[in-house]
Amino acid sequence: MADALDPAKARAIRLVICDIDGTIVRDDKTLSDATVAAVARAREAGIAVTLISARPASGLGRIVGDLGIEGAVGAFNGGTLFEAGGDVIEAHRLAPGDARRAVEALDGAGVPVWVFADGLWLARSEDALHGDRERKAAQLDPTIVQDFSPWFDRTDKVVGVSDDHPLVERMEREIGDLLGETANVVRSQLYFLDVTAKVANKGDGAAFLAKAHGVPLEETAAVGDMPNDIPMLRRAGLGVAMGQGSEAVRRAAGYVTASNEEDGVAKFLDRLVEARRS
């Protein structure tokens, strides 16, 4: 990681791929005026900004509109790409057997489970842990079911939810060992474990987005704060860690900006614009 931004590398960036939670939005899930203005300045300078998130597509629409984003964006860690207007470009879903095994493993460990499929957030309880936060992020209410199996053949994501963070980390390892050849298993928050299709990871997602925007990967920057962001930080031309990111995330990045509460994305975008002007 580096505290200084290489001016030549900064001038080469044509596309910035931003994570949402903990990155481009504040802790209360809102966009700051400074970030909205910085995205507009970047666009005027010829630098496109797009989004990639573990959120479902429904959770990206409002932010896409507020930021004036054009072109492809990525939901489910990049497993689903869709145009800013809502048309799906491509979707990669879990194999039915992998969805079933992930649910069974989480159930066996006593970790509450959510399933995302058919545009629905499926949960077993109306008062699901972190449910209010998910309602705000996903822009969805949960559909209450006790049996997820009717959706296993079209599951976008299985999520384990627990405030026992060491347990979530342990399940990341165990389910990763179980499904790692065919699925992507990674924490998107300390309390969320996401299981998606193998290519539904932010490294491949960043590559898909770069191609969709017609920009070489070496001319992209990726910005994130969590372990599920590390693949795109390593794969993009420039990886940028948020100031509050863990040491592992910071090590994977070529540059560290300020925290999400300190408008770190806005500050980074303004550095890119300044580099172009100089």
Domain boundary, last residue among 166, 197, 228: 197
Are 21 and 81 in a shared domain? yes
pLDDT along the chain (278 residues), means of 10: 80 97 95 98 98 92 94 93 87 96 98 95 86 84 95 96 96 95 91 93 95 97 95 97 95 96 98 93
**pLDDT score of 87:** 87
**pLDDT score of 214:** 97
Are 190 and 224 in a shared domain? no
Are 152 and 233 in a shared domain? no
**pLDDT score of 136:** 83
**pLDDT score of 76:** 92
Are 25 and 86 in a shared domain? yes
Residue 1 lies in a domain: no
Query: Which secondary structure element, helix H or strand E, spans residue 115, and what is its range?
Result: strand 113-117
The model's pTM: 0.86
Are 78 and 108 in a shared domain? no
**pLDDT score of 4:** 80
Under 8 Å between Cβ of 151 and 69: no
**Alpha helices by DSSP H, 58-201:** 61-67, 96-108, 131-138, 165-179
The C-alpha angle with vertex 39 and arms to 235 and 48, in degrees rounded to 5, equals: 50
Q: What share of the chain is helix, strand, coil (3-state, %, to 5)?
A: 45, 25, 30
Are 12 and 34 in a shared domain? yes
Residue 2 lies in a domain: no
Are 271 and 218 in a shared domain? yes
Under 8 Å between Cβ of 17 and 78: no
Domain that holds residue 101: 96-197
Burial 209-219 (b: 16+ CB within 10 A, else e): bbebbebebeb
- Residue 239 CA to residue 237 CA, distance in Å, equals 7
| Domain count of the fold of the chain | 2
Are 151 and 270 in a shared domain? no
Are 68 and 19 in a shared domain? yes
